[in-house]
Structure 1
Amino acid sequence: MKKDIQPTPPVEDVAIVAVIEEEHQGELEWSIYLFNMKEHEIQTVLVSSSGYGQVDGRDVKTSTLRYFLEDVPKLSFRKIEPIKDDLFVLHNEYWVSFYENGRLLDKKFTFEPGQITQENTIPLPFIGKKGVLIR
């Protein structure tokens, strides 16, 4: 019955991060990472990414890409994908699903248009680089 259904706990201490990888011929290269800031491993991690929005008054939607990251150890990170800066004018959405303590959890993370910029970067834990972090 209804009383037997347990609410899904909120996803905490997991983040999606746009990281400045390096400069290549005077241009910044960005990559998207998953950060596990928990004190324990998360398992069977699946990530789906897509972009959507308007460019020059017309609706634009990117392909949906899916990634299987296996298990992500505690206090660590995994690279998801490189991202081109011409996509920063779109909403860049990442759905993350994983098992934690035998329970399936998921959360949507969205970079808003214009959010991924060098001005919005902060020093990041684990990776020793700068980036834009969303929780």
Structure 2
Amino acid sequence: MKKDIEIPKVEGVYIAVVNEYNDIYKTQDWNAYIINDKAIDLDMVLIVTSGYSESKTTSVFRKKIDVLPKKSYAKIELIQEDLFALNNTFKVSFFEGNTMFDKTFLFRKNTINLKALQPIPLMQSRGVLVK
């Protein structure tokens, strides 16, 4: 029964939190992105995000992307800096063909900061990446 259920491993899909300039408000913002570094489109991408610590929990945010084309990325949400003191999870589910994939990406508390910036695949930006 349970042992017969095969859960495929997610590869080539990442979550990045990028520090970028907002031209409209003239501010530096932190934005979360989903990155599809695969050679195939992802269908029905569902993302559920939340933050938590021992004493605090944020509300849950949900986002749906009908199709995330191959070798592309999409913005998920703006993240306020106050939330970096919490563990932030991004639960991602999607279809690749007829197969459903699921993975939880975790940014541990205080790991999103300017000192942790690195080049982000497919983006001409620097940010914090979770694979």
Report the alpha carbon displacement of residue 60 of structure 1 after superposing the two structures with TM: 0.4
Match of residue 78 from structure 1:
74
Q: Secondary structure at the match of 1:88?
A: helix
Q: Among 45, 64, 71, which residue is 1:68 paired with?
A: 64
Distance in 2, matches of 1:9 and 1:23, equals: 38
Identity %: 37
> Which has more radius of gyration?
1
Indicate the residue corresponding to 1:36 in structure 2.
Answer: 36
- 8 Å CA contact 2:35, 2:72 repeated in 1: yes
The 3 A distance-change label for structure 1 pair 60 and 71 is: same
SS of the aligned residue for 1:119 comes to helix
Letter of the 1:88 partner, please give it. F
- What is the count of residue pairs matched by the alignment? 130
Q: How far 1:123 moved relative to its partner?
A: 1.5
In structure 2, do the counterparts of structure 1 residues 66 and 128 end up closer, same or farther at CA, with 3 Å as the change threshold? same
SS at match of 1:10: coil
Which structure 2 segments of 5+ residues have no match? none
The AA in structure 2 aligned to 1:84 is Q
Which protein is richer in strand relative to its size?
Answer: 1
CA RMSD of aligned residues (A): 1.9
| Aligned amino acid, residue 109 of structure 1 | F
Single out whichever of 107-116 and 17-26 deviates more from structure 2. 17-26
TM-score w.r.t. length of structure 2? 0.91
Per the alignment, residue 17 of structure 2 pairs with 18
Report the Cα distance in structure 1 between the residues aligned to 2:84 and 2:40, rounded to whole angstroms. Answer: 32
Distance (Å, rounded) in 2 between the aligned partners of 1:47 and 1:74: 17
Q: Does 1:128 align with 2:127?
A: no
User: Counterpart of 2:115 in 1: which secondary structure?
Assistant: helix
Distance verdict in 2 for CA 1:109–1:75, change over 3 Å: same
Over 3 Å counting, the alpha-carbon distance change for 1:80 and 1:2 in structure 2 is closer
Q: TM-score, normalised by structure 1?
A: 0.88
